[in-house]
Amino acid sequence: MLFRFDTIGHTRSLMNELHNQLANFYEEDARVLNQDRCWVDMQEDEQALTVHADLPGVDDEDLDITLQGEVLSISAKRQVQRPDGARAHLLERRPFEFTRSFSLPTRVDPESVRATLKDGVLTVRMDKAPEIKPRQITVNVG
């Protein structure tokens, strides 16, 4: 069967597809690129929970971490200093002051909590409470 190749229709459908792909691309990127909120993630392995938070420009003394039961709270603030007499061409880095609290998925050993702040990234590592760590049980042959 012969048919006329519909150039306009074909181009339009290609453009629509491209448009959708671009929209997805930007949407996905926007999720990561939006740095207005502090970016936090939490990882779990058999032994421990680890929380990472991006805190660029935050000094040790402006950071407060507390663990109460199974709730971990991170408070941080930073100021954005403008040099004297300078005018701003671009202002994207926001000053912030916030507290974020997270319910931990398991109980942790409060004595084991270790927090480090390096290159603007906070890492909090907490060992799981001894009673919930997996334990190998040896069977004694009677």
Partner 1 sequence: MSESNKVLRVLRPNVDIFENQDGLLLRADMPGVRQEAMDLQVEKGLLTLLGQRQVGEGVFEYRRRFQVPRDIDPSKITATMRRGVLELNMPRAEVYKPRKIEISAEA
Three-class secondary structure of residue 85 per DSSP: coil
Angle at 52 between CA 58 and CA 98, to 5 degrees: 45
Q: Which of 55, 26, 31, 53 minimizes the C-alpha distance to 42? A: 53
Q: How far is the CB of 81 from partner 1 (least distance, A)?
A: 9
| Residue (110 or 120) nearer to partner 1, CB | 120
Q: Which is nearer to partner 1, 92 or 131 (CB)?
A: 92
Cβ–Cβ < 8 Å for 30, 111? no
- Tokens representing 90? 């671009």
State in angstroms the smallest separation of the CB of 40 from partner 1. Answer: 12
Q: Whose Cβ is closer to partner 1: residue 4's or residue 87's? A: 87
Distance in Å, CB of 20 to partner 1, minimum = 21
Q: Are 100 and 73 in contact (CB under 8 A)?
A: yes
Cα–Cα distance, 95 to 101 (Å, whole number): 20
Between 1 and 88, whose beta carbon lies closer to partner 1? Answer: 88
Residues that bind partner 1 (CB under 8 A): 32-33, 35, 39, 54-59, 80, 82-94, 117, 119-121
